[in-house]
Amino acid sequence: MLKKIISVLLFLAALFSLSGCDGSQNLRRVGGRRFDIGYSIDLKDDLIYLTSNDGFYIYSLANPTKPARLGAFEAEPSFGIFVKDEVVYLASSSQLITVDVSAPASPVRMGAYRMEGVAQAAAVQDQYAYLGGSSGLYVLDVSDPSAPALAAQFAQGQEVSGLEIKDSILYAAVPSRGVQLFDLSDPLSPALVATVGGTRGVVDIHIGDQLLYAACHQGGVKIIDVSDLDHPSTIGSFWDDDGGEALALWEEGGTLFVADNFRIEVLDMQDPAHPQEIGEYSRVSAAHDLVGNGPYLYIAAQGLIVLRWDP
Tens digit of pLDDT for each residue in 66-80?
Answer: 999 999 999 999 999
Cβ–Cβ < 8 Å for 115, 160 = no
Tens digit of pLDDT for each residue in 177-197?
Answer: 999 999 999 999 999 999 999
What DSSP assignment string belongs to 235-269?
A: EEEE--SSS--EEEEEEETTEEEEEEBS-EEEEE-
The rounded percent of the chain whose pLDDT value lies above 70 is 91
Lowest mean pLDDT among 5-14, 27-36, 85-94, 153-162: 5-14
The pLDDT-based confidence of 285 (bands split at 50, 70, 90) is: confident
Residues in the chain: 311
Cβ–Cβ < 8 Å for 145, 182 = no
DSSP H/E element including 288: none
Tens digit of pLDDT for each residue in 209-220?
Answer: 779 999 999 899
Decide if pLDDT at 2 tops 90: no
Q: For the chain, which residues make up each domain, given as ranges? A: 2-309
Decide if pLDDT at 20 tops 80: no
Cβ–Cβ < 8 Å for 50, 304 = yes
Cβ–Cβ < 8 Å for 26, 307 = no
User: How many C-beta neighbours within 10 Å does residue 270 have?
Assistant: 10
Mean pLDDT of 248-253: 95
Higher pLDDT, 243 or 138: 138
pLDDT for 128 equals 98
Decide if pLDDT at 24 tops 70: no
Cβ–Cβ < 8 Å for 214, 221 = yes
DSSP H/E element including 62: none
Decide if pLDDT at 111 tops 80: yes
CATH level 3 topology of 2-309: Methylamine Dehydrogenase; Chain H (2.130.10)
CA-based radius of gyration for the chain: 18
Whether the full predicted model's pTM is greater than 0.75, yes or no, is yes
Gap between the terminal Cα atoms of the chain: 35
